[in-house]
């Protein structure tokens, strides 16, 4: 038996769909016209046919080079810190492919590829000058790849609550990899412009927050997520990588477990995260492990004073040598 809607109901459903589609198209066009776009300062470095944006201040040596965490914006992460650093040495941060003012990222661009890019950019900026490498979260994984190749004049490394190569294996059930559903949602959001439509009705408190709101609704961000899901997370035992940094000056700054006292998921993962930070510190015979009191995983934002303190200590040491 076939069930048919009355003609008047069918007609109204067609009207409703047509009106909804018309409203969506109008909103989509308005959002496209409303999008302010983004302008970036700094310099451009060409790598394998891609343009990489970077910013430096100061001059001379050493060169302090900043590597950003996964999903974080380099300007938002480092500009507050670099603005407090003197110009008596060089300090630089950059946008990885897929971020900020750099070109889009191929979805098959791996952590090794990112390390090779980082290495090339550091060599372009620093030449033979000594480098202090400061890396947050996933940036630590990238940076260890670069340091292990031993082709740069790395004076010292500062890891800020670094991600761990085997973090999802160690924290199974507590800190799972980003699911593919998040990636698919990002693509759907970008294709249908849902965030762009929403952004029209938001009064942003700064140009940076507006830029980031549009970025996290873009295809570029969806492609960044694809680079993660295509690598299937981090499940490599650290010892399998055969890292040995000898007596390289290494500072490991970890978050404060008490900062997550009201977040059961992260608080329960604290002891194992601390063990991972200890294993990273153990890569060098000349390492120091510090807990950033009051800081969450976002150490650069929560304790910029501590980050600056250890940068300046490393800079002064490099200048004396």
- Work out the average pLDDT over 218-224: 98
The share of the chain scoring above pLDDT 70, in percent, equals: 98
Give the three-state DSSP class for 191.
helix
What is the C-alpha to C-alpha distance for residues 77 and 73, in angstroms, rounded to an integer?
6
| pLDDT the model gives residue 175 | 86
Q: Strand order in 286-291's β-sheet?
A: 43-47, 50-57, 90-94, 63-67, 131-136, 154-160, 249-254, 286-291
Within 10 A of 278 (CB to CB), how many other CB atoms are there? 13
- Work out the average pLDDT over 49-54: 98
- Work out the average pLDDT over 207-226: 97
Query: Mean pLDDT over all residues of the chain?
Result: 95
Domains and CATH numbers, the chain: 43-177+233-320 (3.40.50.1820)
For residue 232, name the pLDDT band (cuts at 50, 70, 90).
Answer: confident
pTM reported for the whole predicted model: 0.94
Query: Which residues are 252's β-sheet partners?
Result: 159, 289
Gyration radius from the chain CA atoms: 23
| pLDDT the model gives residue 151 | 95
Higher pLDDT, 182 or 321: 182
Answer positive or negative: Cα dihedral of 221, 227, 229, 234.
Answer: negative
| pLDDT above 80 for 5 | no
| CA diameter of the chain | 90
For residue 2, name the pLDDT band (cuts at 50, 70, 90).
Answer: low
What is the Cα 172 distance to its own chain's centre? Answer: 22
- Reference 39, options 51, 50, 53; nearest CA is 53
Which residues have C-beta within 8 Å of that of residue 5, sequence separation ≥ 6?
A: 13
What is the C-alpha to C-alpha distance for residues 222 and 13, in angstroms, rounded to an integer?
34
| pLDDT above 80 for 8 | no
pLDDT in tens, 247-267: 999 999 999 999 999 999 899
Residue with tokens 């690598």, as numbered in its chain: 231
């Amino acid at each position: 038996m076939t069930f048919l809607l009355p003609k008047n109901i069918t007609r109204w459903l067609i009207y409703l769909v047509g009106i909804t589609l018309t409203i969506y198209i109008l909103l989509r066009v308005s959002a496209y016209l409303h999008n302010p776009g983004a302008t970036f300062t700094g310099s451009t470095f060409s790598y394998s046919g891609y343009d990489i944006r970077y910013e430096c201040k100061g001059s001379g040596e050493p060169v302090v080079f900043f590597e950003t965490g996964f999903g974080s914006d380099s300007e938002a992460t480092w500009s507050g810190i670099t603005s407090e650093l003197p110009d008596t040495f060089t300090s630089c941060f950059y946008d990885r492919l897929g971020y900020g003012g750099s070109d889009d990222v191929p979805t098959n661009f791996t952590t090794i590829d990112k390390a090779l890019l980082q290495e090339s950019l550091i060599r372009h900026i620093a030449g033979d000058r000594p480098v202090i490498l400061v890396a947050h979260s996933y940036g630590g994984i990238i940076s260890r790849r670069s340091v292990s190749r031993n082709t740069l004049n790395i004076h010292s490394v500062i890891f800020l609550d670094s991600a761990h190569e085997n973090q999802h294996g160690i924290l199974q059930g507590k800190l799972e990899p980003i699911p593919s559903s998040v990636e698919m949602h990002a693509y759907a959001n970008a294709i249908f412009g849902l965030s762009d439509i929403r952004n029209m009705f938001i009064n942003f408190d700064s140009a940076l927050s507006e830029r980031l709101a549009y970025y996290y609704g873009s295809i570029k961000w969806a492609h960044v997520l694809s680079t993660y899901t295509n690598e299937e997370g981090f499940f490599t035992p650290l010892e399998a990588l055969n890292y040995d940094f000898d007596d390289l000056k290494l500072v490991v700054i970890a978050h404060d477990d008490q900062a997550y006292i009201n977040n059961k998921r992260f608080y329960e993962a604290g002891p194992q995260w601390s063990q991972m930070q200890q294993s990273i510190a153990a890569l060098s015979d000349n390492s120091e492990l510090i807990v950033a009191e009051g800081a969450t995983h976002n150490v650069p934002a929560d304790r910029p004073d501590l980050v600056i303190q250890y940068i300046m200590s490393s800079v002064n040491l490099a200048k004396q040598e």
